[in-house]
Amino acid sequence: MPKQNPKSPLKRPPSWPNLWFKDKTTLKHVVFKMQLDNNNNNNNASLSPNSKSKQQDFTKTCSRTDLFSLLSDEILLQILSKLPGSLRNPNSLVCKRWLFLLGRLVRSVKLLDWNFLQSGRLISRFPNLTDVDLARACIDSEQTSGILLTHRLISIHLDSDFSSGRFVCDENVLPSVSIDRGLRILAQGCPNLRKLVLISATGEGLSSVAEECPTLQELELHDCTDLSLRGISACRNLQILKLVGAIDGFYSSVISDIGLTILGHGCKRLVKLELSGCEGSYDGISAIGQCCQMLEELTIYDHRMDAGWIAALSFCENLKTLRIIACKKIDPSPGPVEHLGSCPTLERLHLQRCQLRDKQSVKALFLVCSAVKDIVIQDCWGVDSELFSFASVCRRVKLLSLEGCSLLSTDGLESVLLSWVELQRLRVVSCNNIKDGEVTPALSSLFSVLKELTWRPDTRSLLSSSLAGTGVGKKGGRFFKRRTGKGNRSF
């Protein structure tokens, strides 16, 4: 007979004592709690009824005590700093102490009420600010109005009876005395300020900011004049500056060569400069180029400059990026070609929403930017094949981006692309005059060696190819098939 395997003995179910004594740490806590309760019972037995009531009151008081009050401000501040930004505002309503501590964590503020700054509540509420935007607060507008006007630089509320000529009138802007007083309060309370945005500041107010805030690095001035720029000449560490002069419907201030010269002699550490709605000429741009040797990025937005300013770009010896945006003209009279010069370190040229119908100014611009490596032309009027041919003087181009150039043809694009032997990236979007069927074998071979290619020139052909086979876009008589049967008709 085969041997039968003996059955394994059944495991005895664990008893409650074994489970209790398995975790030694838990057992120690239980024993300690039992001893503590026993001592409390013995003490209560020896106490008088009056003593028992006092002890009960003390126990209730301890249960209601805020344990966070035992922590120092530094420790509690470290705990609150770990909270996500979405939870800081709700937690600031817990108590006044939390409100004050969470205010110390705030670094950036957009002020809407100027009285909040002038009364000193902004500094007491947020003592460690480094980024302050005062643009909205400088304009006295009705905050409860249902009309909100948004511009690239500012958003304001309008009344129903605003003037048709200007959205921001002189009487809507705060007086210069109030603005200077608020700037002094801000400068004294926030010595570590790094970024500031404001409107209609005077030289006196900006001087107080420059003296009290030595770490100020970024400044944006709206509706400023030549005289107000004297105040920022003391900002020795200023690196990023945005000047907003005249904007149709908003501001009508004037920044001329005088202000640009003051700016160049005062802020010699500028790295990025944007001139929006500014006047000036060759003298102002040349002063900035000669004095601001560290300038790497220059943005010119809707300029009102006189003729001949393009030739002054050659003084910006370390300029790497040039952006010309929303300009109705580039330079109507750039001067002789031999006097233009060039920017040897320029790497990027961006033209966006500009009027490029003047071929002489565009030719002068490409001559000055002949060393450029990246060219971006977006939604510019007047870019045809003849005008685009001037870009062939730029022999080092590695990236070309064209968008919204509806007058440029395939032949005009090809003639320039074949002259750029270092081209690596190409982007052509919404250039409806460039057709896929007109691409030559030479242009196709160029496309095959590019590192990056985005080719969507004709939006109509792209739409028709994406809808091929779906039946969308066909006429109803050809799309629907009518079938008749015995007494019924189906579609």
pLDDT score of 120 more than 50: yes
CATH T-level assignment (fold) for domain 148-464: 3.80.10
- How confident is the model over 406-430, as a mean pLDDT? 94
- CB-based contacts of 237-242 (< 8 A; 24+ apart in sequence): 237/269, 238/267, 238/269, 238/270, 239/269, 239/270, 239/271, 239/272, 240/270, 240/271, 240/272, 240/273, 241/267, 241/270, 241/272, 241/273, 241/274, 242/273, 242/274, 242/276
pLDDT score of 394 more than 90: yes
Residue 353's SS3 state is coil
- How confident is the model over 26-34, as a mean pLDDT? 49
Task: Note the pLDDT tens digit of each residue in 77-118.
Answer: 787 888 787 777 777 777 888 888 888 888 999 998 899 999
pLDDT of residue 41: 55
Give CA–CA dist 331/348, Å, rounded: 19
The domain ranges of the chain are 73-105, 148-464
Taking alpha carbons only, the member of 438, 427, 435, 426 closest to residue 458 is 435
DSSP lists the bridge partners of residue 321 as: 297, 348
In Å, how far are 160, 162, 167 from 145, measured between CA atoms? 8, 12, 14
Is residue 469 very low, low, confident or very high in pLDDT (cuts 50, 70, 90)?
low
Give CA–CA dist 97/294, Å, rounded: 45
Task: Note the pLDDT tens digit of each residue in 335-363.
Answer: 888 889 999 999 999 999 999 989 999 99
